[in-house]
Structure 1
Amino acid sequence: MPAAASAQEEGAQQARDVITVTARRREETILDAPVAVTAFGEEDILNLGLQSVDDVARFTPGLSFSAAFGRTSERPVIRGQANVLAGVQFGVESGTAYFIDGVYYPGSIQNLDPNDLARVEVIRGPQSALYGRNTYAGAINFVTRGASDVLEGNVRARAGSYGEYELSGGISGPLGDRAGFRLSVRDYNYDGEWTNTVTGQTVGSQSTTSLSGVLDFNPVDNLDFRVRAQYSDSRDGTLPLFLQSAASNNCAPGHRSLASWSRSGSTNNNQYFCGVIKPAPVALNTGPALPGQPAIVPGVPADALNPFLPFQLYSTADGTAFDGVSNETWLFSGIMNWDVGGSGYVFTLSGGYRDEERRFGSDSDHSSINFVLQPVGMADTGAFFANTNRNEVRDHSIEARLASPVDEPFRWMIGAYYYDQTSRQFSITFSNPSGNPSNRLTTTNQAIFGLLEYDFTENLTVTFEGRYAEEEKTTLDGLSDPTQFFRADTFTNFTPRLTVNWSVDPETTIFGVYARGVKPGGQNGSLGESVGNPTYDQETSENFELGVKRSLFGGAGYFAASAYYIDAKDVQLTTAVASATGALNSVATNQGAAEIWGLELEYRQQVNDMLSIGASYAWTRPEFTSGCDDAQWELTSGGGVIAGNSTAPGTGTEFFGQTGNCSIAGNRIPLTSEHQLSLNGELRAPLGQNGRLEWFARSDFTYESSKYVQVHNLAETGSASILGAQFGIQSENWTLMAYGRNILDEDSIVMATRWLQTPYLSPTFSPNTAPAGAATGAPRAFFGTLRRGASYGVEARYRF
């Protein structure tokens, strides 16, 4: 068999059977590890075209990802445990944590070089006991490639539709007898594929340049070190965001509608949109407008303020001082493993440091109007809803643990952990591109943890893990204001995990897990304080799981299944806050409880020398069991106001003959899909008589059902069916291929968010005809993120 085929099969076998640095913090095969985990090896990453967390999610049962704000917001959702504000509101976290080589990484992972990875592991279920903070729903561990024993290297070049290209390479080898190195470089570019109708410019572009280096060395026997450094610089253009106006609302009649604002000229009295939000043209004020622009959003006439206020409403100038996303990151990590005197007792010390500067800019009313709200004749100062800011984030962590020999029937491990982060935010303006200080958030986490494990029989093992953590968060909000918000809070928790593992035979493992998960709490800042919600509490869950793994066909196949139940309390969701002073208009609150049932299936097989196949499926039913949402009352009561301190079903004012009910019990948790399916296959055979070349053809298909946008379960994204394919030839050292991504040109939106419909912010700006007792907040529209369309390209790889 050609060496190329042997390498491919070796990579496939590694992806099935070997996991390094898992939630159990030790090396073991995927079959033996009693935990729900999906692993992708080097060949999987290349063959499936895994370029981002979004791609990883497509082939991982139980993981859903939606980059609603480009490569700046991280909202991975494992097993339906979602949070609308995660990665969007300052300080709110998703509950799924990233790790690089087992070291906690709280930044944006979407610019990580996929060619620098040896493996990606997605570990589902709470991993708080051993992995640490914010692994409430699971952990995603990116294992990087290290030094090699001989000098070797690789080069990859890719060119595709819409100006997409990638150039990457790496070189690795020994440095004497006890050390080795690896250096990697990547340059990536994508021009974007949508046109901004206001400016005529192409939007959605992305570019990244990254460098990384690894040094592995073992100065003496039983002691080894790994030091890694990484630099990345990303520059993304205007985000492909579109607005669906409040004029399109089609359900839930009430007074938070355009019809109640006399200057809108609209008779639409609906407060919400029911159904699938469809993609629409991008129309943003991110540059000088074309002649005749800006176009007017339906229901928002140009004279909406006149003659009530001597203010101009629109401007044709650039409304945003910064557009898109830029991210410059330095990352350093180190790991030491010491087998003390060769005794089998292993002391591990690991740590990391990150220095990141990120800029974000968007026309935050997401419409074609450049809403300025300034006195007539005054020079343009930028759009009123220009969401432009700069973040400086620095964090570091250190972890120490001592583990007993793994070949003893009784095993233990103890450890300690410290993490510290400081995040500063600045508001960018035309007059100050560096930004005016806005707020500062600090997080300090200290923990002790441990593991006890005992083999009761040769086939039955029980493991108990636990972690006690104290986390202090401080928020200083309004640094440019005379009156500042400051608050410091400490959150404590204990997260146990109990696993019973039964090796039925050498090919079959059955395991049961109980685990407690905790998602960090935090502060809402001055906006939250103004509405009586200065903080939000930790979200907790009790998790029960039963799983089975089996090796099939003498190791050529692998099957895994997990069924789980989750009981979540103090679920962190969002409460809307109408604000005329900025784009942020929601705070995090603990709105109720939820139950989640789910099933996950995975199957892989090397059918014969020519054919390999894989499949996965996940079913998730995350439902609220209790909760009272004030916006739910507005929608069901005809635009009424819920009474203070009311609980489900609630009391308050009602209109249009509606019966108000604030309960969200029975509704699905938003941002989650009920069904996920993936299928992939590869055909490979010799080309020619000498056997030096092979041809291959690969295809993959993924399906994800529609996601609800909010707890009301009315507006949704639509399902997504994505087909990919590759075809090419390969030798021992080089590969040439053509590829297609999203061949079906799936255009369902990535995600949508309910947002303010400007300029109707308060009755001061336009008369509101709502009767007494009605909610008179601004009508709400939706903005969504467009999905990349079909793209095609060619790729060449060479290794030596």
Structure 2
Amino acid sequence: MTFTVRLLGGAAPLALLAAANPAFAAADVTPAAADQTTSAGTGQSDNDTIVVTARRRAETAQDVPLAISVVGGDHIDNTGAFNVGRLQQLTPTLQFTSTNPRNTSVNIRGIGAPIGLTNDGIEQGVGIYVDDVYMARVASSTFDFLDVKQIEVLRGPQGTLYGKNTTAGAINITSRQPTFDFEGRAEASVGNLGFTQFKAAVSGPLSETVAVRVAGSLTNRNGTLLNAFNGHKVNEQDNLGLRAQVLFKPSSSVEVTLAGDFSRQNPECCAQLYVRTGATQRPLARQYDALAAAQGYVVPSTNPYDRITDVDATLRAKNQIGGVSLRVKAETGLGTFTSITAWRTWDWDPSNDRDFIGLPITTKSNNPSKQDQYTQEFRLSGEKGKLGYVLGAFGFYQKIQTNGIQQQGSAASKWLINPTNPLSNVPAVLDGLTANNDIRFTNTSAALFGKLTWKVADGFSIQPGFRLNYDKKNGDYNSVVTDGQGNLVVFEVDSTGKSLNSNEEKAQLAVLAPQAFIAKFSDWNFSYDVTASYDVTPDIHLYATYAKSFKTGGINLNGVPADTAGVPLLALATVKPESVNHYEAGIKTQFLDRKATFNVAIFRTEIGNYQAQVSNYTVGALRGYLANADKARTQGVEVDWSYRPSERFNVYGNGAFTDATYRKFTNAPCPPELSGGSQPVDANGNLTATPSAPGTPGVSPLSCDISGQRLPGVSRWSASFGAEANLPVNLLGKDGQVYLGFDGNYRSSWSSNPSPSAYTWVKGYALSNFRLGVRSDAGFDIFGWVRNAFDVNYIDQLSVASGNTGLIVGNVGDPRTWGATVKLTF
């Protein structure tokens, strides 16, 4: 019997990513064994029993002919990797950026989704699955893991094995399943910054054929930033996760699992703070220093690591996700048949300060959003002689409604209107100017997919796969603008196209412009892959893969650019699918009686019509939308190794070199140092003056050629590493261990802007985490921990504030945190 009472400290909840997606495990449901100590990356354990389900069957990570990182639930708990954001510290080719749950990006090898503002009409390239259930909203990745057994990070296209097509990879999360032996676990942690966390799970039989498992987590932590405006500590944690599963097993060949979950976040969050300013090509009187001086404003600190902001708008990041799923699994004469039916819901209720400072410029900039998602997957897998197979069908329907608002405040006129315009001294021109946005979106997808394994000879197999996919998207965008008195603000032109708007209306339309359009996208795609694998010896495995894949097109639902009369440019309303060619080869080895593991993968992914974030920094322009760059490419080398000479010591290291660049993007948006100036053009739209030097007021280019420059969010070099040593002791008459553990990670510098800018490079950094504790075979584990032990100052993400003022804001990483955790298992 196992009941684990875990008091895991600063390891914020390992809770909800699993709770965020009720699901059915990909592997067979078997009585859960006690957690084993595993090495992050290779998943190696003392008795080598860790299995993965990446190919829809149970096998060791070494037998899978693809690049895969495995992290056991024990390692997740001990290192405080409570969500996908923390998981990237253990898997170096995973990149996670987030300014709030909705504006989150998860990438693998530098590709997957553009970083920056989330666009509801575009899909992610990294699939997140919990027990086979696909999570369409990347916001789910910010929730706590809940009762997780292990996590597999699959690198490279996965569309021939998984329900939803993914071109960059997949994160496959397996939760602990109901058991017919009673077991339970719980943890409690306390730490600095007011950190408290409680997690518990209990599992057992209700009858000979029915078992149930219930799990929950609760996490709270004070904010890491001081808001000088109201004295509140902001960017806090306030998380709740609940999950229940019922297993019905009427016979040895049939099992049915019903699962439900609910997760909630409700912190005072998410503030970005002043990091620096950089010179743009805007007139000096319209850059940050002059604008702030004109209103007598001084930021409370120019050092971001003082962790002080003064945002004057309400902060809220209320995030709820949940759902129900039903998995039916049956052994038939043709193989194992699996049906997975799921419904997911997501409710996002935010409040932000999008001018990022303590002036009432933009007093509201919120986009509450609701989603309903329905998925159905059928899968048949089996093996007949030399032929193995996985055949599947997948259906997906998603409905999203977003009702956003942006409202300007009393300081907006002086900040946003040219000082040479007398209206800049009239607060009423922009005070109360409001855009109400109604955004509707439906997304339907259906697919047939399959993977065959032909054992050509002993140790040699060829594995072709295919996917036939249909996608249909419908979007409806409607933004209505009113002034401070509630009057509609619209574009008015005569028959020749000359504006009939008053000067006040022109100033208002330059800040918030009404827009309405309907856009549709639909397409069929066929993709395929082939892998050849060869077992040189039982402990040396070679593989090579080619994949022709795609990322479906989409719709820009943040609005699109418009002409001078406010007519939306509908050619930019839809985005073309990405075309992907992927090449990969690897070797997986074990030696020293399988106590050492060493794996290497080399890869190259070429993307045509790369879906790139386009940022326009001018006042009144869209903050971001998507467009297609001609070509992008990512290539590199990955190494995963671990060594476990005995149960007394283990060490691991994982590293990656990733070269991810735009190969051809000649008409990209310019970075802020080349933006904001005048742009005189002739009748053909060509610039008639020479652009000024970067950061020099004057003339700005219409676009920039950023071919060869770095894709955002990815470091060239990244690594994770760690070790644990223990000594045997006798505790209360039971065998036990005193142990010391270390986990660290490093990433080199990376670009935080779609078009690389001198102002938005994030410096590289290394983080170190330690734990010291004692555990016993009696079922308890008590340890102290410290994370970011050397109190390294680092940036999670930088952003360019709109308006070309040169203001750069950012999210600072957590300072040193420390605490203690108690776990009990019986």
User: How far is 1:668 from its partner?
Assistant: 0.7
Residue matched to 1:291: none
| 1:487-502 pair list within 5 angstroms | 487-502=519-534
Answering whether residue 140 of structure 2 is matched by residue 104 of structure 1, we say: no
**Are the aligned partners of 2:154 and 2:169 in contact in 1 as well (CA < 8 Å)?**
yes
| 1:63-82 pair list within 5 angstroms | 63-69=94-100, 71-81=101-111
TM-score (norm 2): 0.80
Q: Distance in 2 between matches of 1:267 and 1:49?
A: 44
Q: Secondary structure at the match of 1:45?
A: helix
Q: Deviations over 1:696-755 (max 9, x none)?
A: 110111101111122224221111211101001111211111100111212211001112
Q: Aligned match of 1:184 in 185, 190, 215?
A: 215
Q: Distance in 2 between matches of 1:178 and 1:169?
A: 24
Answering whether residue 680 of structure 2 is matched by residue 654 of structure 1, we say: no
Q: Distance in 2 between matches of 1:616 and 1:262?
A: 43
Residue matched to 2:422: none
Q: Structure 1 residues 201 and 406, CA, compared in 2 at 3 Å: closer, same or farther?
A: same
Q: Aligned match of 2:344 in 354, 358, 383?
A: 354
Q: Which moved more, 1:601-610 or 1:159-168?
A: 601-610
Q: Structure 1 residues 19 and 462, CA, compared in 2 at 3 Å: closer, same or farther?
A: farther
Q: Aligned match of 1:332 in 311, 314, 324?
A: 324
Q: Distance in 1 between matches of 2:557 and 2:676?
A: 31
Q: Which moved more, 1:730-739 or 1:778-787?
A: 778-787
Residue matched to 2:789: 743
Residue matched to 1:784: 810
Q: Secondary structure at the match of 1:747?
A: coil
Residue matched to 1:585: 623
**Are the aligned partners of 1:682 and 1:698 in contact in 2 as well (CA < 8 Å)?**
yes
Q: Distance in 2 between matches of 1:18 and 1:128?
A: 28
User: How far is 1:520 from its partner?
Assistant: 3.0
Q: Aligned match of 2:266 in 235, 258, 279?
A: 235
Residue matched to 1:556: 595
Counterpart of 1:538, as a letter, is P
Q: Distance in 2 between matches of 1:499 and 1:198?
A: 58
Q: Secondary structure at the match of 2:749?
A: coil
Residue matched to 1:425: 402
Answering whether residue 759 of structure 2 is matched by residue 720 of structure 1, we say: no
Answering whether residue 584 of structure 2 is matched by residue 545 of structure 1, we say: yes
Residue matched to 1:565: 604
Q: Structure 1 residues 385 and 643, CA, compared in 2 at 3 Å: closer, same or farther?
A: farther
User: How far is 1:539 from its partner?
Assistant: 1.9
Q: Structure 1 residues 244 and 742, CA, compared in 2 at 3 Å: closer, same or farther?
A: closer
Q: Deviations over 1:292-349 (max 9, x none)?
A: xxxxxxxxxxxxxxxxxxxxxxxxxxx44xx221112222122211111xx3522111
Q: Which moved more, 1:619-628 or 1:689-698?
A: 689-698
Q: Distance in 2 between matches of 1:740 and 1:364?
A: 34
Residue matched to 2:658: 620
User: How far is 1:140 from its partner?
Assistant: 0.3
**Are the aligned partners of 1:478 and 1:526 in contact in 2 as well (CA < 8 Å)?**
no
Residue matched to 2:121: 91
**Are the aligned partners of 2:724 and 2:740 in contact in 1 as well (CA < 8 Å)?**
yes
Residue matched to 1:202: 233
Q: Distance in 2 between matches of 1:787 and 1:619?
A: 23
Q: Secondary structure at the match of 2:533?
A: strand
Q: Aligned match of 2:780 in 734, 737, 743?
A: 734
Q: Structure 1 residues 345 and 132, CA, compared in 2 at 3 Å: closer, same or farther?
A: closer
Q: Secondary structure at the match of 2:81?
A: coil
Q: Distance in 1 between matches of 2:767 and 2:292?
A: 39
TM-score (norm 1): 0.82
User: How far is 1:189 from its partner?
Assistant: 0.5
Residue matched to 2:460: 460
Counterpart of 1:789, as a letter, is P
Q: Distance in 2 between matches of 1:751 and 1:633?
A: 16
Q: Structure 1 residues 527 and 679, CA, compared in 2 at 3 Å: closer, same or farther?
A: same
Q: Distance in 2 between matches of 1:58 and 1:633?
A: 29
Counterpart of 2:350, as a letter, is F
Q: Distance in 2 between matches of 1:9 and 1:637?
A: 55
User: How far is 1:149 from its partner?
Assistant: 2.8
Residue matched to 1:402: 380
**Are the aligned partners of 1:257 and 1:780 in contact in 2 as well (CA < 8 Å)?**
no
Residue matched to 1:155: 186
Answering whether residue 365 of structure 2 is matched by residue 392 of structure 1, we say: no
**Are the aligned partners of 1:451 and 1:466 in contact in 2 as well (CA < 8 Å)?**
yes
Q: Structure 1 residues 695 and 256, CA, compared in 2 at 3 Å: closer, same or farther?
A: same
Q: Distance in 2 between matches of 1:30 and 1:124?
A: 13
Aligned residue pairs, count: 709
**Are the aligned partners of 1:72 and 1:325 in contact in 2 as well (CA < 8 Å)?**
no
Counterpart of 2:105, as a letter, is R
**Are the aligned partners of 1:86 and 1:93 in contact in 2 as well (CA < 8 Å)?**
no
Q: Distance in 2 between matches of 1:677 and 1:526?
A: 36
User: How far is 1:32 from its partner?
Assistant: 0.7
Q: Structure 1 residues 446 and 686, CA, compared in 2 at 3 Å: closer, same or farther?
A: same
Q: Structure 1 residues 646 and 693, CA, compared in 2 at 3 Å: closer, same or farther?
A: farther
**Are the aligned partners of 1:640 and 1:653 in contact in 2 as well (CA < 8 Å)?**
no
User: How far is 1:263 from its partner?
Assistant: 10
Q: Aligned match of 2:256 in 211, 218, 225?
A: 225
Q: Secondary structure at the match of 1:43?
A: helix
Q: Structure 1 residues 385 and 493, CA, compared in 2 at 3 Å: closer, same or farther?
A: farther
Q: Distance in 2 between matches of 1:574 and 1:720?
A: 26
Q: Secondary structure at the match of 1:746?
A: coil
Q: Distance in 2 between matches of 1:631 and 1:140?
A: 32
Residue matched to 2:738: 695
Q: Which moved more, 1:451-460 or 1:213-222?
A: 213-222
Counterpart of 1:451, as a letter, is K
User: How far is 1:351 from its partner?
Assistant: 2.1
Residue matched to 1:764: none
User: How far is 1:73 from its partner?
Assistant: 3.1
User: How far is 1:521 from its partner?
Assistant: 2.0
Q: Distance in 2 between matches of 1:262 and 1:281?
A: 20
| 1:501-540 pair list within 5 angstroms | 501-525=533-557, 527-528=559-560, 530=562, 532=569, 533-540=572-579
Q: Which moved more, 1:565-574 or 1:624-633?
A: 624-633
Q: Distance in 2 between matches of 1:677 and 1:791?
A: 22
Residue matched to 1:314: none
Q: Distance in 1 between matches of 2:515 and 2:706?
A: 37
User: How far is 1:574 from its partner?
Assistant: 2.2
**Are the aligned partners of 1:600 and 1:616 in contact in 2 as well (CA < 8 Å)?**
yes
User: How far is 1:693 from its partner?
Assistant: 2.9
Counterpart of 2:805, as a letter, is P
User: How far is 1:280 from its partner?
Assistant: 6.2
User: How far is 1:669 from its partner?
Assistant: 0.6
Q: Which moved more, 1:97-106 or 1:10-19?
A: 10-19
Q: Secondary structure at the match of 1:47?
A: helix
Counterpart of 1:616, as a letter, is N
Q: Deviations over 1:243-266 (max 9, x none)?
A: 346xx315xxx6325346799379
Q: Which moved more, 1:596-605 or 1:470-479?
A: 470-479
Residue matched to 1:681: 723
User: How far is 1:18 from its partner?
Assistant: 6.0
User: How far is 1:87 from its partner?
Assistant: 5.9
